[in-house]
Structure 1
Amino acid sequence: MTGGSKRFDCPIPPRLSPHADAVQEWLTDRLARVDPTLERGTLDRLHRAGFARYAGRLYPDATEADLRTLAALFTWFFLVDDHCDSRSTPEDVHALREGVLRLLRVGPASRHPGLTGRLRRILVDAWHVPRQRMPQRWRVRFSDAVAHHLSGVRREAANKAAGRLPTRAEYVPLRRATSAAYVSYALIEFATGRVLPDAVYHHPLLVRVAETANDLLSWFNDVVSLDRDRAGSGGHNLVLVTAHERAVSPEAAVALVVDEWQATMARFMELCAAVPSFGPGLDEAVAVHLAGVANSVRGTIDWSLESARYPT
């Protein structure tokens, strides 16, 4: 896996659900039925992106039925990403955030002007199973992660509107929000059926593991999406931030980012190995969760390299 003249060396083994391709076919048909206004070209683009394969790499042990739900949620988040990148003001993103949270926290019978049309229809459909099946504490955890993500998207939109390039110190925590990785970590519990107690989920070392994994998948994405981000990100890309602060070319900045990524990967492996025992009733569930966080890193790498969303 290369980035510029440097190589990403990821020791996490790749995984892929045996249901991924079948779910991808199901997903295309489902989207067309949930939202008949989707144009054929949009459906084809979503199909080529392979969001079911992305979900299948992050949740390789999910049942086929659950992978359908996960793939639909992934598609919704990418549609939100495209929507916010293309034409949304900070005020638009704020309204969208409020509408999404109203739906997640109150239910599909609630309405909010910030969430309408295609985005509402697809989210209502994708959210049905988790809302019915998962306990209240998990639904709160999931909606809080979505709130954090969309708050980050709004801050990025505000920076773009003001023509403001973030510093590295500002960008790294902002990127942890815009990546939606924390949403994907909550979905590990849906996919595995193992909901951790809050005290374990928010244990300081597990939080550091989650942050470090988030950095890994986010920075890798910044490298592979660099060409697209040069034109439309307003400088919100670690390579571009590094190039600006170090006064080097983007090509030189790629090498610096890859070196930092490699050091961060070594730290991630050390952190995972240092997670303490929480007792025989929880250790297996914690191990499953950590494996899911690791899958988020490797799965993002492998999907990014195969998906038509990031042409190489």
Structure 2
Amino acid sequence: MARQASGTTVRSRRLGRELRRLREAANVSVERASEVLRCSVQTIYRQENGAVSVRLKDANDLLALYRVADAATREAVLELAKTTTQQGWWRPYGDVVPRWLQVYIGLEGDTTEIKDYHSAVVPGLLQTRDYANAVIRTDWLAAEEEVAKRLDLRADRQARVLGTNPPKVDVVLDEAVLRRPVGGRHVHRSQLGHLLDVGSRDDVTIQVAPYSIGAHPPLGTPFTYLGFTDEDDPDVVYIEIPTGSLYIEKPQEVRHYQHIFDRLQTEALSAEASTDKIASVMKEL
């Protein structure tokens, strides 16, 4: 059964794109829209990017400003506005999850395809709790309560994404990820064993980019490609940085990352050879 993208974040993206289309069709500036809603220009941009929800009253005011008379269009916009204000399942973790990460969690929960490239650590979706604990604690400003909550969130994400009707997950790991002793020998070895276990699933493919392939794009720059089957939900590339994140949605740029990942998969070891590689590194520990 194909996954249906129906989460709050995906609906916010749909609503934002429609509001942008209607605004541009009406030849209304972002500045004028912000005046009507009595908000900042940045808020309008964030609404149109799906980063924040749109209140029903604001949606009505924008439809009036854009002179939208078509009943079907008005109904569709208002229905989306009603549903985008619903809180995501991650709300209880809101105090330790920045807004930019909440957007990603929402998208991750509705994607049908995840393509992950990592050069430093195992991606969060495949981390054991002990490994995740060691990674999270590299943020020396995090209090014990925050660390515990972030660990619970990560476990919840894993259960939701990899549980019933999961997306197809393709992962390419730089060999350095296998050899970096995150959390010490025991935690490191357990994490490698977990990669072998999860990599045996039909919906997960793990490949290793060995040192022997030399320089390759995007050397040292991890990224996650989220794919959606519905044409109303364009694919997006997520890049996390120390102080936030980047969301790449322009079709030409997204295709560029798709090509990069395709090349990585071609140059990396096969899934079978990667399994042997992971097992070999485990024996060295």
The TM-score, its normalising length taken from structure 1, stands at: 0.27
More helix by percentage: 1
Which one scores higher on RCO, CA 8 angstroms, separation ≥ 6?
1
Structure having the higher Rg: 2
More strand by percentage: 2
